[in-house]
Amino acid sequence: MNLIKKWKMKEHKYLGKGKQGKFDIINCSICVSDIPKDVIFTYEGKKYLKFCVGKMKETDKYGKTHTIWLDEFKPEKQEMPF
């Protein structure tokens, strides 16, 4: 099974939604309270959160056009064939 199929099959942890505005800018809101502490990582003394923003198939009843979820992709380590 390829990595894309594995990624699509995994259930996402949703953080919020956004709406496309002028000039292709996506205005988003993220619920900070719902961010699990274990997904925040530190790099060179600064804290980061990896997330994805995707366009929804249909605009929801509040006019939201995009959804936001945690990027929990972790590539599988593969041994080199040589």
pLDDT band at 11 (very low <50, low <70, confident <90, very high): confident
Q: What is the pLDDT of residues 23-40, one digit of tens each?
A: 889 999 888 888 888 889
Average pLDDT over every residue of 43-66: 92
Q: What is the 3-state secondary structure (H, E, C) of the chain?
A: CCHHHHHHHCCCCEEEEEEECHHHCEEEEECHHHCCHHHCEEECCEEECCEEEEECCCCCCCCCCEEEEECCCCCCCCCCCC
Longest dimension (CA), the chain: 55
Bridge-partner residues for 26, per DSSP? 20
